[in-house]
Amino acid sequence: MSAPGRSAQDGPVRPALAPLLPAADIADATEAFHRAAPSARRWDVESSIAWEVADAGRLTDGQASAVQFITLIEDHLPGYIGVYERAFPLNEDVDLDTFLHNRELYHFTIRWGFEEDTHARALFRYQVASGLADPVSLRRELAMEGRKPFELPHDHAVSLLAYALVQEKATQIYYQQLRAVVGDPVLADVLGYLARDEARHFAFLADVVERYLRVYGDAVVEPIREVVANFRMPLADTIRGYWRWALRIADTARYDHTDAYGHLIRIVNHAVDARTDRVDELVRFVDACRSTTAGAAS
């Protein structure tokens, strides 16, 4: 049963509802994800960025605000990881087949978590190195938001993964747009690395959601539709003044999750050879949910 209106106060996410992909499918997708990031293409906070020339003085107020905003979003990683731990447990709460699935997914989640934590560290480092923030106050500010609970209003495994798919693509697009306008080349470098990682995260989730559609067809249409129908950006309900903030940074670069919907439609079309009424309806629905200005970035 789905509970689209559930909020963080209603309690933790339980083990995700079936259907679950066969473990072998998750394993294939996970291997492809790891192959897409060979060691020669990796980057790190310590050696890949010229922090000594970072200069927040080259940013407009809107750009500085955007950096503060995305630092908060990336820094909330422990909350996001918590959702996966509860939804895909690796203990005796689940039967053996579910454990097999969850164990394969973990090969993705642990690497993804490391990369997202690197994003949080890079943005923190940028703020400090560029003179935008002092480390003690920034740490405290992040902690005030970071300790707030985080939940997603989805119960089905495929819904959680489809949510992440939209989120990763929307974030990638946003970082690319922001990168194109920021006045500090050091920040542009950081955003370039981040966007590249988000693109790989999206590619994994696209692979997985496509497999769900191939294997289960109509049975996963509703859990995917539910994600689009109820989509909220992460932390939209917890960050103080989120919407005011979102509006303030909109002039700098637009953060719009519906930018990702064209990509979702492409995945559905790619996955399904014989279209059914339910799939057609899903595609029409996703399309109708796109912002009128969306599409240019795809």
Closer residue to Fe ion, CB minimum distance, 114 or 243: 114
Binding site for Fe ion (CB under 5 A): 116, 119, 168, 198, 201
297: helix, strand or coil: coil
CB closer to Fe ion out of 99 and 245: 245
Cβ closer to Fe ion: 201 or 290? 201
Which tokens belong to 194? 């981040």
Instruction: Please give the Cα distance from 186 to 123 (Å, whole number).
Output: 11
Backbone angles phi, psi at 17, to 5 degrees: -80, 150
| Residues comprising the chain, all counted | 298
Q: Which is nearer to Fe ion, 107 or 278 (CB)?
A: 107
CB of 176 to Fe ion, least distance (A): 13
Identify any residues that bridge with 17 across adjacent strands, giving them in sequence order.
156
Q: Helix or strand or coil: residue 275?
A: coil
Question: What's the CA gap between 91 and 156, in Å, rounded?
Answer: 19
Q: What is the smallest separation between the CB atom of 202 and Fe ion, expressed in angstroms?
A: 8
Q: How far is the CB of 48 from Fe ion (least distance, A)?
A: 15
Spatial neighbors of 1 by CB under 8 A, at least 6 apart, are 17, 155
- Please state the closest distance from residue 195 (CB atom) to Fe ion, in A: 9
Cβ nearer to Fe ion, comparing 132 with 195: 195
Least Å distance between CB 95 and Fe ion? 30
Query: Which residue has tokens 């497999």?
Result: 211
Per the DSSP assignment, residues forming a β-bridge with 156 are: 17
